Amino acid sequence: MLLADFHLHSKYSRATSPLMNVIDLGKAAKEKGINLLGTGDFTHPLYFAELKKNLSKFNEGIFIEEKSGTKFIPTTEICLIFGKEINNVRKVRKVHLLIFSENFEIVEQINDWLSKKGNLKADGRPIFGMNAVEFTEKIMEISKENFIVPAHCILPDTFLHCNSDMKMIKNISVGDLVYTHKGQYQKVQKVYRHRYKGEMINIKPYYFRIGLKTTPEHPICVIKTFKDCSNFGGQQHVYCRRNCSYLKRRGCKHPYFMNYRSEWVQAKDIEKGDVLVFPRFNTSTEDVKEIRISNYLSERQFKVLDNEISCNQGRTDKKLPNIVNVDKNFCRLGGYYISEGYTNNRDSIAFCFNQNEEEYVKDLNFLMKKIFKFSSPRIYKRKKTKSIEIIYFSKILSKVFGTLFYNSDAIKKANTKCLPFWMLTLPLEKQVEILTGWWRGDTGYTSSREMMNQMKIILLRLGIVPSIGKQTKEYFNKSKKHKIGNRTIKAQGDLFSFYNLSFFQDSFELLKTPEFRKFNTKLDRRHGWIDEKYIYIPVRDIGAEDYEGEVYNLEVEEDNSYVCEFAAVHNCWTPWFGILGSKSGFDSIEECFEDKSKEIYAVETGLSSDPLMNWQLSKLDKYALISNSDSHSLHNLGRECNAFNFDEEYVRYKDIINAIKFKNKEKFLFTVEVPPEFGKYHYTGHRSCNFSCAPKEAINLHNLCPICKNPLTIGVEQRVEELADREHGFIPLDAIPFKNIIPLWEICGKFKVKNKEKILINKFNNEMNVLLNAEIDEIRKIDENVAIVIESLRNNKHIVKPGYDGVYGEILTEGGNKGKESKEKEKNNKGKEKEKREKAKEKSKKEKEKSKGKERQKGLDEFL
C-alpha cells in the first residue's frame, strides 16, 4: 500500500514553518508512514531551485529525495480572484486550485507564464487576477498531462475619510459616504461592532508614525515585495523597489518590482518591507469660484443690500461685500487663519504672529484690505511673548470664520479647526496657497487631528508625502518646558507635527521658496514611490499588542473598502476559498469552469468535510474525492491522505493520475480523513463570542450571533445542507471509501502523554501503522486513553467537539464513546432547561408588577 499527501506548503508560503524544506519533509514523511508527497509551491523561484537541487528522477513523473528515500510528485496551489456574473449579479469570486505536473520541464513553462501575470516571489501560494476558465485553458495547453483539482471544497477610535470630514469609525452610520481605495466615495451599507479580546497588529509605515492598529485577520491593500535583494549582499528586508539607488547607479539585472501587484493581505501576514497602497485623493477637482457671506449667517442678524452685507444688531458694524471670490488670495488668507487665527465668537477675529514675521503681517493686511476692505486693524506688540496680535473687529467675520474653519459650533479652539470640505477639491494652484499660508503660521504643527488629515490630503495631491508624528498631551504637559513668561502652557489635546516633507513632485517650485527651502537636501530620504493615483509607502515596523474591547467593521457598497488615516482597508476577510465554499460564489463546478469543467476529474474535500458529507451532493458524483493535509508544518503532514494499491518502486505519475481520474477502486483504495468536526470551519459560529451551533439552530437565528447580533461565519456542514439533494448517509456505487484518524501528537497532547507518541511510533514503525493497523490491545498496553480514541475513530464513533470560525475542533476527554447525536441531544436538553428557567423568571416578574397595580415601561432585560 502506498500513502500519498499531495497538498502541502513550503517555508516560502505565509504562516508556514521554516522546517518545511525538501530534506526535512522527506524525514518527517518517513516517520509518519507517508510514501509519496506533493512538493507544494513549485511556483516559488527559490523553492523550485531547491527542488531541482535535492530531488532526482526516480520513475516517470516521480522524484526521490535520496537521504530519506521519500518520493515526490510536482504540485502547487494557486489562488484565483476574479469578477464573474451569475444570475445577473456580478461579484468577486475566489478559488484555490491544486496543480499536478509530470516533470520539471513542464513546471518551468508554467512558472514562465505565471511570472508575467504576477509576483511569484511574493508567496509560495501566489494570487492571480484571472478567471478559472482562462487559467485552466492555459495550463492544459502547456501540457495535457497537467492535472487540476479544486482545493478546499467547501479599533473604535480609528479615523476614516468621509465625504464631509474625518470621522471615528464608531461614529459612522449606515448611509454615510466613505472614501474607498478606488478614489471615490461610496455608501456604508452596514456597521458591525463586537467585543474582541486578543492580539492587535500595529502597522507602522514610513512617514506616518501614528500607524494603524487592526485585528490580525483584517485585509489591508499592500504590495508583497521581494526582499533580501542580492545587490545589497542579501541584507534582511532590503526590498526590490523602483526608486532603488543601485538601479540608478549601475542598473539591475533582476527588477522584480516590474511585476508588483497590489493585493488584499491579512494584517498578520504583512511584513517589514511590504508596501502600503494609499490613494492620493486627486481623482476629482471642483473649482469653487465664489462664496456668499450671507449663506453662513442667520437672516435675523444681518441684511444684504446692493451686494453689501451689514449687521442688524448692536452698534453699526462695518459693511462687507456679500460675494467673495475664492481666488489664490482668499485661499492664502484661509491658510493664515487655520494656523494663527482665532475668534472671540462675538465681534472680532484676530491673528497672532512672531515679531520677526512682519512680512507675513504685511501680507495679511494686504489680503484683508483686498478681500474685505479692512484698512485699519488694531495691532498689539506683546513684549513678554515677543508676538504681534492683529485684531479685526467685525461681528460678520466672527460668525463667518467661526462657521467656515471649525468642526464644532460650540467650541472654537485650535483643536477643532478644519477647512471646509470644498477646499479639499479645489485646483492645485489654489491649494498650494492654503498650504503656504498654513505653513508660514504653524510650520507644520497642529493640535487638530482633522486639520492634520486635511493638510495631508492637500500635500498628497501636490505630490508631496509628509512625515507625520504625534506628541500626546500627557507627554507635552509632563515636560513642563513650554512657558510664556512665568505661565506654563498646558496642552488640551495631542500635537501633530509634519516634521519632514518628501517632494516626489514640485510643480509649483515650492523648494525655491524660503518656507520650504530646507527640504531641498542633497540626501534623498524618500521612501517608496508615487504615481498619478496612489502613493506606495513601505512598512517600517510591525508590532503586536494585547487588546480587549470593542472593534468595528463596515460593509461598503461596490468597492468593499474604506480608507483610514494611513491605510486602505477591506470590508472583511473570508477564509473560504473552496470551489463550493460559502463565500466562493459558486454552487457547482460548471459555474466556475464553464466549458473547461471537462478538464476537472477530482475535488479535494478539505479538513472540515469528509466524503460522507460530499456524497449528499449528486452534482459531485462524477468527480473523485481526494484528501490532503494542506500542511504548513511537519507535525500535520499526512493528517489527511490517499491510499493506493501500487508498488512504491514502480509507480509512475500517470498511474496515480489515472487511478484518481477513473475512480479505480482496485488502485485507489481509500482516503484517510480527520473527522470533519475537527476542522476549523465545520460548525457555524462566531469566534469572538465563543458561540457555535448546528445548521438548524443557525437558520433559526437567521445566521446572526445571539450575543453580538453580527453575522455568523457559515460552517461547512451548513453549506453542505444548503446544496444537498440527498440524505446524510447516502453512498454512491462507485464511491472511494474512507477511514478516520486524528494525528497522534494531537491525541497524546490532549491526554498529556506526549512521551508515549515516540514509544508508539518506535513500536509500530510509523504513525500511520499506529492509527490504521496496530492492534488496539497492543496500543492499550502503552496508554488506555489513546487506545480508546483510536478505537472510536476506527468505529466511526466521533468524539470531537466541532470546530467553528477558525477554531479547530477538540477531542472530548470524557464520554469518549458517546456518539455525535447523543452529544447534540444533551446540548439541546440543557438549552431547553435554561429556556424554561428564564420563562419562569419572566412570569414571576410580570405577576409582581400586576400586584402593584401600576403600569411601567419595560426594562432592557425584559426585552432581551
Shared-domain flag, residues 130 and 198 = no
Q: Which percentage of the chain shows pLDDT scores above 70?
A: 84
Distances (CA, A) of 73 to 28, 147, 366, 661, 794: 16, 12, 80, 16, 29
Residue 132 has pLDDT above 50, yes or no: yes
122 and 196 housed in the same domain: no
The answer to the question of residue 186 being in a domain is yes
Count of other CB atoms within 10 angstroms of residue 365: 18
Position 240 pLDDT exceeds 80 = no
Please write the tens of the pLDDT for every residue from 502-536. Answer: 999 999 999 999 999 999 887 777 888 888 889 99
User: Residues 152-173: what's their mean pLDDT?
Assistant: 72
How many angstroms separate the first and last alpha carbons of the chain? 59
Which amino acid is located at 549 in the chain? G
Q: Which three cell numbers stand for residue 69?
A: 528515500
Residue 106 in domain: yes
Mean pLDDT of 372-389: 86
Of the candidates 121, 156, 138, 86, the one whose C-alpha atom is nearest the C-alpha of residue 14 is 121
Last residue in a domain, options 712, 740, 768? 740
| Tens digits of residue pLDDT in 274-329 | 899 999 988 788 999 999 988 888 767 678 887 888 887 655 577 888 899 999 99
Global model pTM greater than 0.75: no
Q: What element of type H or E holds 110?
A: helix 104-115
Contact 793, 740 (CB under 8 A): yes
* pLDDT higher at 755 or 265: 755
620-626's contacts with Cβ under 8 Å and 24+ in sequence apart are 620/589, 621/732, 621/734, 623/589, 624/660, 624/661, 624/663, 624/668, 624/736, 625/671, 625/735, 625/736, 626/6, 626/149, 626/602, 626/660, 626/671
Domain count, the chain: 4
Q: How far apart are CA 580 and CA 608, in angstroms?
A: 13
- CA-CA distances (angstroms) from residue 110 to 61, 124, 596, 739, 770? 16, 14, 18, 35, 39
Q: What is the mean pLDDT of residues 552-559?
A: 78
Closest CA to 397 of 324, 305, 477, 473: 324
Query: How many CA atoms lie less than 13 Å away from 369 in the CB half-sphere?
Result: 9
Q: Are 39 and 74 in contact (CB under 8 A)?
A: yes
For residues 31 and 768, the answer to whether their CB atoms sit within 8 Å is no
Residue 830: count of CB within 10 angstroms of its CB:
10
How far apart (Å, rounded) are the C-alpha atoms in residues 539 and 267?
12
Same domain (yes/no): 317, 192: no
The DSSP call for residue 384 is: T
* Complete DSSP assignment for 472-523: -HHHHHHH---EETTEEP--SS-EEEEEEEEES--TT-GGGSTTTGGG--SS
Instruction: Locate the DSSP E strands across 252-397.
Output: 262-266, 275-279, 290-292, 302-305, 308-311, 320-321, 323-325, 341-343, 348-354, 378-382, 387-393
Rounded Cα gap, residues 467 and 526, in angstroms: 10
Q: What pLDDT score does 257 carry?
A: 72
Residues 582 and 566 occupy one common structural domain? no
In a domain, 283, yes or no: no
Range list of β-strands (E), 55-184: 56-59, 62-65, 70-73, 75-86, 89-100, 127-128, 147-150, 159-161, 166-168, 177-179
What pLDDT does 574 receive?
33
Within-domain flag for 858? no
For the chain, what is the mean pLDDT? 83
The amino acid sitting at 448 is S
Rounded to whole angstroms, how far apart are CA atoms 496 and 565?
Answer: 13
Classify strands 387-393 and 348-354 as parallel, antiparallel or unpaired.
antiparallel
Same domain, 108 and 218: no
CB atoms within 10 A of CB 861: 9
What is the rounded average pLDDT of the residues 2-14? 93
- Is the pLDDT at 478 greater than 90? The verdict is no
User: Tell me, what's the pLDDT at 564?
Assistant: 86
CATH number, position 555: 2.170.16.10
Residues 207 and 297 in one domain: no
Q: Please check the confidence at residue 153 and state whether its pLDDT lies above 50.
A: no
CA angle centred on 798, ends 797 and 803, rounded to 5°: 170
For the cut 90, the answer to whether the pLDDT of residue 660 exceeds it is: yes
Give me the pLDDT at residue 856, please: 34
**Whether residue 846 has pLDDT greater than 80:** no
Query: 526 with 537, same domain?
Result: no
686, 807 Cβ separation under 8 angstroms: no
Length of the chain: 864
pLDDT (0 to 100) of residue 843? 54
Q: Over the range 45-77, which residues count as b (16 or more CB within 10 Å of their CB) and which as e?
A: eebbebbeebbeebeebbbbbeebebbbbbbbb
Structural domain contains residue 464: yes
Q: What is the mean pLDDT of residues 342-360?
A: 89
For residues 784 and 215, the model is more confident at 784
Vertex 708: Cα angle to 705 and 714 (nearest 5): 25
Torsion 539-544-548-553 (CA) sign: positive
**Cell numbers placing 407:** 468642526
- Note whether 500 and 632 are same-domain residues: no
What's the pLDDT at 481?
Answer: 61
812 within a domain of the structure (yes/no): yes
Q: Name the DSSP letter for residue 553.
A: E
The mean per-residue pLDDT over the stretch 542-559 comes to 81
Taking 50 as the threshold, does the pLDDT of residue 586 lie above it? yes
Burial (CB count within 10 angstroms: exposed 0-12, middle 13-18, buried 19+), residue 297: buried
The C-alpha atoms of residue 548 and residue 536 are separated, in whole angstroms, by 32
Integer angstrom CA distances of residue 395 from 298, 301, 321, 369: 12, 10, 14, 17
- Is position 862 within any domain? no
pLDDT band of 815, cuts 50, 70, 90: very low
User: What letter does residue 808 receive in the DSSP assignment?
Assistant: P
Matching residue, cell 493520475: 657
Asked if 266 and 399 sit in the same domain, the reply is no
Burial class of 710 by CB neighbour count within 10 A (0 to 12, 13 to 18, 19+)? middle
Say yes or no to pLDDT of 582 above 60.
Answer: no
Output the nine-digit C-alpha cell for 269.
Answer: 501576514
Q: What is the pLDDT of residue 65?
A: 95
Residue whose cell numbers read 444548503: 722
Q: What is the pLDDT of residue 679?
A: 79
Q: Is the pLDDT of residue 864 over 50?
A: no
Give mean pLDDT, residues 384-397. 88
Matching residue, cell 511510533:
761
pLDDT at 712: 86
Contact 489, 454 (CB under 8 A): no
Asked if the model's pLDDT at residue 198 lies above 90, the reply is no
d(CA 353, CA 331): 18
Q: Are both 147 and 217 inside the same structural domain? A: no
**Of the candidates 678, 687, 685, 677, the residue with the CA atom closest to the CA atom of residue 713:** 685
- What is the pLDDT at residue 85? 65
Neighbouring CB atoms inside 10 A of 827's CB total 12
With a cut of 70, say whether residue 641 has pLDDT above it.
yes
Does 205 lie in the same domain as 111? Answer: no
Asked if the structure places residue 762 within a domain, the reply is no
The pLDDT, as a whole number, for residue 482 is: 57
Spatial separation of the C-alpha atoms in residues 819 and 816, rounded to whole Å? 8
Q: What secondary structure does DSSP assign to 689-733, as a single string?
A: GTEEE-HHHHHHTTTB-TTT-PBPBPPHHHHHHHH--S-TT---T
Residue 736 CA to residue 627 CA, distance in Å, equals 11
Residue 198 bridge partners (DSSP) = 547
Predicted local distance difference test score (pLDDT) of residue 573: 31
Q: Give the whole-angstrom CA distance, residue 546 versus residue 187.
A: 32
Query: Looking at the predicted structure, is the pLDDT value of residue 839 above 80?
Result: no
pLDDT (tens digit per residue) in 686-715: 887 889 999 999 999 988 989 888 888 888
The angle subtended at Cα 452 by Cα 450 and Cα 458, nearest 5°, is 105
CA nearest to 609, candidates 586, 594, 630, 592: 630
Q: Which of 257, 276, 420, 273 is nearest to 338 (CA)?
A: 420
Cell digits for 473? 498631551
Kindly state whether residues 333 and 475 are assigned to the same domain: yes
- Does residue 264 contact residue 220 with C-beta atoms inside 8 Å? yes
What is the model's pLDDT at position 84? 67
Is 38:77 a contact under the CB 8 Å cutoff?
no
Given a cut of 60, whether residue 840 has pLDDT beyond it is no
| pLDDT above 50: residue 154 | no
The pLDDT tens digits for 219-238 are 888 888 877 666 655 454 46
Lowest mean pLDDT among 159-163, 512-516, 789-793: 159-163
The residue segments making up the domain with residue 840 are 792-845
Name the domain boundary from 503, 530, 557. 530
Arithmetic mean of pLDDT, 12-21: 87
402-448 pLDDT, tens digit per residue, is 989 998 776 788 888 999 989 999 999 999 999 999 999 988 999 88
Measured CA to CA, the distance from residue 295 to residue 658 in angstroms comes to 79
